[in-house]
Amino acid sequence: MKKLIIILFSALIFFGCEEKKELKEETAQRVDESVSKKEQAEKKILLDAFEDGLHIADAWIRPAGKSRNTGMFFRVINNTNENDTLLSAKSELSQKTEIHETYKEGDMMGMREVDHLVMEAGNIFQFKPMSYHVMLIKLNEALAEGEEGEVTLIFKNAGEVKVTAKVEDKMPTISNDEQEEMKEVN
């Protein structure tokens, strides 16, 4: 009798947990879908604002001292019918220039180099804080707020694209009016 009670109790817990798990997955999927719907709407507005072609917008670099590292953040608007690939970046600002991503593991944060990034056709790719950035390693000169810096992005199809970025100490943008702040820089 005791064994039967234990088995029944365990089964109840097991199925209860399974149901919870399914519910959680379902909720997560619904949130993903709703986020995606909003992002799609935002993307359409932004894409419509740009002519055909590949564009770089809203580029900025964090200030940093000489021989230090810093990051450049921007958006790639691929208003073409073909995927493009960001292969590398180069700049006279630093001794080395790499494409990096920031990643999270528990409460730990880190960054690492990425080999290349695909810019989907008819889409916007964001290089933003806590995410992808162009890493300027060992600056040749200090970059202070208010200055400008030039970086060249090398794409598979679009070729070399020069970007002039403002040096600013920005926080991540959260405003719903983000698109209004965007300016084409090349």
Partner 1 sequence: MKKLILFVTLVFTMFYLSSCGDSLPIEEDLSNKNYELLNQDSVEVTFPDVVSGKIAIVGYVFTNCPDICPLTTNNMRIIQEKVKEEGIEDVEFVTVSFDPEYDTPSVLKEYAEIRKLDTSNWTFLTGEKSETDRLIRDVGVVAVPSDSTEMEDGEMMYFYIHTDRIAIVDQEGRVRKNYLGSTNHLNLKCENCGEWIDQNVMINQDFVNCPNCNHRNEFESQLAQIIADIKTLAN
Residues that bind partner 1 (CB under 8 A): 27-28, 30-31, 34-35, 38, 62-66, 68-71, 95-96, 98, 100, 102, 104-105, 107-113, 129-130, 133, 135-138, 142, 144-145, 169, 171-172, 174, 176
Q: Which residues pair with 169 in a beta bridge?
A: none
Residue whose pair of structure tokens reads 């702040």 in the numeric block: 181
Closer to partner 1 by CB, 1 or 171: give it: 171
CB of 109 to partner 1, least distance (A): 4
CB of 6 to partner 1, least distance (A): 24
Closer to partner 1 by CB, 51 or 113: give it: 113
Angle at 130 between CA 127 and CA 133, to 5 degrees: 35
Tell me the C-alpha distance between 91 and 34, whole Å: 39
CB of 21 to partner 1, least distance (A): 15
Q: What is the DSSP string of 119-160?
A: E-TTEEEEE-TTSEEEEEEEESS-B-TT-EEEEEEEETTTEE
Tell me the C-alpha distance between 152 and 163, whole Å: 6
Closer to partner 1 by CB, 118 or 144: give it: 144
Closer to partner 1 by CB, 70 or 78: give it: 70
CB of 46 to partner 1, least distance (A): 17
Tell me the C-alpha distance between 160 and 118, whole Å: 15
Tell me the C-alpha distance between 133 and 86, whole Å: 12
CB of 68 to partner 1, least distance (A): 6
CB of 169 to partner 1, least distance (A): 6
Tell me the C-alpha distance between 13 and 4, whole Å: 14
